[in-house]
Amino acid sequence: MRYISFHKDTSVFTLHTKTSMYQMQVGRYGTLLHLYYGDDLGDARIIHSIVNLDRGFSGNPYEADRDRKFSLDVLPQEYTAEGNGDYRIQGIEAEHEDGSHVLQLKYDSHEIRKGKYALAGLPAMFAGEDEAETLEIVLKDELSGLCVKLLYGVLWDCDIITRTVEVVNRGKTNITLRRVMSAELDFPKRPMDMVHFYGRHSMERLTERQPLHHGIQSVESKRGISSHHHNPAVIFCDHTATEDYGECFGIAFVYSGNFICQAELDQVDQTRVVMGIHPYQFAWTLKPGESFVAPEAAMSYSGTGLETLSHHFHDGFREHLIRSSYVKRPRPILVNNWEATYFEFNEEKLYGIAKAARDVGLEMFVLDDGWFGKRDSDYTGLGDWYVNEEKIHGGLPKLVKKIRKLGLKFGIWLEPEMVSEDSDLYRKHPDWCLRVPGRLPVRSRSQLNLDVTKKEVRDYIMEQIFKVIDSCQADYIKWDVNRALGNVYSQGVEAGKQGEVFHRHMLGVYDMMERLIGRYPNLLFETCAGGGGRYDAGMLYYSPQIWCSDNTDAADRLEIHYGTSFFYPISTFGAHVSVCPNHQTGRTTSLRTRGIVAGAGTFGYELDLEHMDEGEKKAATSQIAQFKASEELVQQGDYYRLSAPGDRSNSVFWEFVSKDKRDVLVAGVVLRSEVNPPVNLLRFRGLEPNLIYRERESGEEYSGAVLMKAGLALPVTSEDYESVVYRFEAKGEFESEKKR
Ligand code: GLA
């Protein structure tokens, strides 16, 4: 095999990606030790990293006899379990029928295969037979017969190693899993920061970076969605790491429900990181012969700073996770009526917006919430997926026909996982929602969660949704989720299986989405959860774009997009131009700035186009043309964060560079206009130093080296949130090409 090898004499496994290397060893007593993760070191085997010392109060396995220097409490390992003298955070915890919790996991066997493993019913990265390899290592607990298969998928080209585990009960008694992490990663002593993305509804994925402290720190969601509050993607890097310097490790969970990412700095300054389904209310009983597959985690390493780490994830997700054919195709530029009308519209109003959209050059009309059931407000109607004829006289097909006649495509909003108590569906099937009988449920946005662990519920909802899509031949679907899970109890599931409900709910959602994209492979599919409450790699397996945030304010979006960009490709950012003063913040930014910020995303409009004056309409038309001219670069180029919210530059700038380095877009916003301002030199990155780059509008020419080392002086601005754009193209040949 090319990427994975096993060295028999030393029992060392080595995984190679294009620039990184990952190594482990079957050590004494069958312990799977972790040796190394970092820059590619060729044939080297880092066995000297295991140093055994006698450490007080760290126990020794019985087999070690008088060897007090072998203690699992301090050894770096691949996947750990309860009851072996390792008191750190662990990979797996299971309860046996006798009430004990001990698992002694020893190396049993391994297999190296071509191609990348897949996971039935779960999102996972994929690759061609020759692009990836899989390593499966089986660890076994001899007494109970429980086997843990560790799966490693090596995606060479994008420097990603995926991981997950499958737990199989090969014993004779039931075993209840209480905790199954998808990945565990031990680091030797090194000073590290944790970079994670926290937030709240309408202000998601804000960046926080702090040094690891001794003890456990974690980010997590117990909300049944990956959440606005913490994102299941975390970076561990050197204290000194910057965008283009230092060692960084990223781990992203390919899952959209409850998660936990914990990091523990231990007694001897080593760090253990785990990522997996949150153990909160999790219990999964395996009968003999049964198995449980954990969701996937994707890891990457960069030895050259955060931007390279982002490139690995961006390339990896674009090439090996997002299945939609839209991943590299221009997407119809849309207008969405939500912020234009909210719930108050009729077919004339919608048609008016569509007509204005056509006039400015837009390509698709998206009908948001409020078109179905008795949905005049967010108190009613969810679950009744048939048109509200009081608002749309003559039904959907008639309206859609008129809209299509304008030359526009048509998209529609749905919220399939929810039900309003004031709905025909709820009146008929009150037991189809998650709730504990006899207790009053917690409402959120006045709605309840449908119990999609039940197949009959999924079948019913999908049938209704297919009818809607077929009736209007929708080109686009926005699939929303406007509350977290609450009262997580499935009626009809026995008491002993309630610990499965959170995960089974997520599996139900994935099943519904799989059915949708299976039936309509050409549909443009955008997922959403009150904005970015489910912005994760799991969702990207189904939808090529996700609505970033319910906050459409361009100034706030700078911060939201900045945080989102560390793991997720820019082509996935659902971003629209909305009206000012902004409905969420009351802030006013120029139409130009709103266009430039939304242009580093999927781009579209979400305002009443009929109310735009002629000047604004003209500006919109030229914004659309500009976006189209850069869409391919935005979708497929390498992304660089040139300045950051909160740094001393008083600006947020970003850059897209085409893979051949000939096409460059730099854009950004100067935050505050300043009196007597400092000169702000913006240094580009990722260019070819010897190439001459010509700015399209001004005609100015600079070498790549000048743009990267000296930078360009940003213009002095005269109002807050003024935006700046440069588009450079390379002239002539590379020096190296000339000589040939
Ligand atoms: C969520 C979405 C919005 C909009 C509303 C409709 O909040 O994020 O974009 O669709 O629901 O209710």
Q: CATH number of the domain that 451 lies in?
A: 3.20.20.70
Residue 650 is encoded by which pair of tokens? 């008083």
Based on the fold, state whether residues 684 and 620 are members of the same structural domain: no
Q: What is the pLDDT of residues 619-665, one digit of tens each?
A: 999 999 999 999 999 999 999 999 999 999 999 999 999 999 999 99
Look at the chain and report how many structural domains it folds into. Answer: 3
pLDDT given at position 740? 43
What confidence category does residue 739 fall into, taking pLDDT thresholds of 50, 70 and 90?
Answer: very low
- Does 442 fall in a domain? yes
Residue nearest to atom 12 of ligand 1 (CA): 369
Q: Answer whether 481 contacts ligand 1 (Cβ < 6 A).
A: no
* Pocket mutation for ligand 1, best pick of 334, 550, 584 (most atoms within 8 Å of C-beta): 550
Distance CA 439, CA 199 (A): 31
Based on the fold, state whether residues 579 and 673 are members of the same structural domain: no
Q: Which atom of ligand 1 is nearest to the CA of 529?
A: 8
The answer for residues whose C-beta is within 8 angstroms of residue 115's C-beta and 6 or more apart is 127, 128, 129, 131, 132, 133, 134
What confidence category does residue 492 fall into, taking pLDDT thresholds of 50, 70 and 90?
Answer: confident
Based on the fold, state whether residues 570 and 699 are members of the same structural domain: no
Domain final residue, candidates 622, 641, 660: 641
Please name which of 350, 348, 355 lies closest in space to residue 337, comparing C-alpha atoms.
350
- Does 541 fall in a domain? yes
Q: What is the pLDDT of residues 591-628, one digit of tens each?
A: 999 999 999 999 999 999 999 999 999 999 999 999 99
Question: Is residue 588 classed exposed, middle or buried when 0-12, 13-18 and 19+ CB atoms within 10 A define those classes?
Answer: middle
Based on the fold, state whether residues 214 and 335 are members of the same structural domain: no
Cα 373 to Cα 26, 336, 386, 589, 687, distances in angstroms = 61, 20, 6, 37, 54
Q: What is the pLDDT of residues 436-467, one digit of tens each?
A: 999 999 999 999 999 999 999 999 999 999 99
- Does 646 fall in a domain? no
Distance CA 475, CA 400 (A): 11
Q: Answer whether 482 contacts ligand 1 (Cβ < 6 A).
A: yes
Based on the fold, state whether residues 297 and 332 are members of the same structural domain: no
- Does 280 fall in a domain? yes
Q: Is 83 left (phi over 0), alpha (psi -120 to 50) or beta?
A: left
Q: What is the pLDDT of residues 404-423, one digit of tens each?
A: 999 999 999 999 999 999 99
Based on the fold, state whether residues 256 and 333 are members of the same structural domain: no
Q: Answer whether 413 contacts ligand 1 (Cβ < 6 A).
A: yes
Please say if the pLDDT value at position 138 is more than 90.
yes
Please say if the pLDDT value at position 166 is more than 60.
yes
Domain final residue, candidates 613, 641, 669: 641
**Which H or E run contains 193?**
strand 192-200
How many angstroms is it from 352 CA to the middle of ligand 1? 21
CATH number, position 110: 2.70.98.60
Please name which of 17, 198, 175 lies closest in space to residue 103, comparing C-alpha atoms.
175
* Strands 418-419 and 448-449, sheet pairing: antiparallel
Residue 618 is encoded by which pair of tokens? 């003209």
Based on the fold, state whether residues 602 and 687 are members of the same structural domain: no
Q: Answer whether 411 contacts ligand 1 (Cβ < 6 A).
A: no
- Does 550 fall in a domain? yes
What confidence category does residue 1 fall into, taking pLDDT thresholds of 50, 70 and 90?
Answer: confident
Q: Answer whether 338 contacts ligand 1 (Cβ < 6 A).
A: yes
Mean pLDDT score of the chain: 97
CATH number, position 735: 2.60.40.1180
Please name which of 706, 707, 695 lies closest in space to residue 731, comparing C-alpha atoms.
695
Q: Answer whether 528 contacts ligand 1 (Cβ < 6 A).
A: yes
What residues form DSSP beta bridges with 149?
138, 166
* Pocket mutation for ligand 1, best pick of 228, 369, 420 (most atoms within 8 Å of C-beta): 369
Q: What is the pLDDT of residues 382-407, one digit of tens each?
A: 999 999 999 999 999 999 999 999 99
Instruction: For residue 330, say if its preceding peptide bond is cis, omega within 30 degrees of 0.
Output: no
Q: What angle do CA 252, 255, 261 make, to 5 degrees?
A: 50
Beta strands in 9-66 (DSSP E): 12-16, 20-26, 32-39
- High-pLDDT (> 70) share of the chain, %: 99
pLDDT given at position 732? 80
How many angstroms is it from 480 CA to the middle of ligand 1? 7
Based on the fold, state whether residues 571 and 668 are members of the same structural domain: no
- Does 45 fall in a domain? yes
Based on the fold, state whether residues 75 and 148 are members of the same structural domain: yes
Based on the fold, state whether residues 436 and 582 are members of the same structural domain: yes
Q: Answer whether 530 contacts ligand 1 (Cβ < 6 A).
A: yes
Please say if the pLDDT value at position 526 is more than 70.
yes
Domain final residue, candidates 275, 299, 320: 320
Q: Which of 157, 424, 616, 632 is catalytic?
A: 616
Is 536 one of the annotated active-site residues of the chain? yes
Residue nearest to atom 2 of ligand 1 (CA): 530
- High-pLDDT (> 90) share of the chain, %: 98
- Does 242 fall in a domain? yes
Based on the fold, state whether residues 292 and 333 are members of the same structural domain: no
Cα 353 to Cα 321, 356, 408, 472, distances in angstroms = 35, 5, 12, 18
How many angstroms is it from 342 CA to the middle of ligand 1? 9
pLDDT given at position 736? 54
Q: What is the pLDDT of residues 553-566, one digit of tens each?
A: 999 999 999 999 99
pLDDT given at position 593? 98
Q: What is the pLDDT of residues 361-375, one digit of tens each?
A: 999 999 999 999 999
- Does 248 fall in a domain? yes
Q: Answer whether 369 contacts ligand 1 (Cβ < 6 A).
A: yes
* Structural domain for 39, as ranges: 4-320
Based on the fold, state whether residues 614 and 725 are members of the same structural domain: no
Q: What is the pLDDT of residues 197-231, one digit of tens each?
A: 999 999 999 999 999 999 999 999 999 999 999 99
Average pLDDT estimate for 332-338: 98
Question: Which residue type is seen at 475?
Answer: D
Residue 675 is encoded by which pair of tokens? 């009196």
3-state secondary structure of 382: coil
Average pLDDT estimate for 319-341: 97
Distance CA 345, CA 323 (A): 35
Residue nearest to atom 7 of ligand 1 (CA): 530
Please say if the pLDDT value at position 276 is more than 60.
yes
